[in-house]
């Protein structure tokens, strides 16, 4: 015989898993300290300056 499944439980489990995945993505995206944000911004600025220095004038 086959196992009886409660579709409401499966739906709720899927919703919880989706919510957890979204929370993890948001934590990775927004959950940084001010120092980490400043460091990333400084690195991006330095990379942009280096790229601009190597650009040829037309």
The model scores a pTM over 0.75: no
The string of DSSP letters for 1-58 reads -PPP--HHHHHHHHHHHHHHHHHHHHHHHH---HHHHHHHHHHHHHHHHHHHHTPPP-
Return the pLDDT at 48: 96
- Maximum alpha-carbon separation in the chain: 77
Question: pLDDT averaged over the chain?
Answer: 92
Distance CA 27, CA 33 (A): 11
What pLDDT score was predicted for residue 55?
83
Residue-wise pLDDT tens for the chain (58 aa)? 788 889 999 999 999 999 999 999 999 888 888 999 899 999 999 999 999 998 887 6
């Amino acid at each position: 015989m086959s196992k009886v499944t409660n579709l409401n439980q499966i739906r709720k489990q899927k919703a919880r898993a989706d919510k957890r995945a979204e929370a993890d993505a948001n934590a990775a995206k927004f959950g940084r300290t001010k120092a980490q944000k400043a460091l990333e911004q400084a690195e991006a600025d330095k990379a942009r300056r280096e790229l601009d220095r190597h650009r040829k004038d037309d």
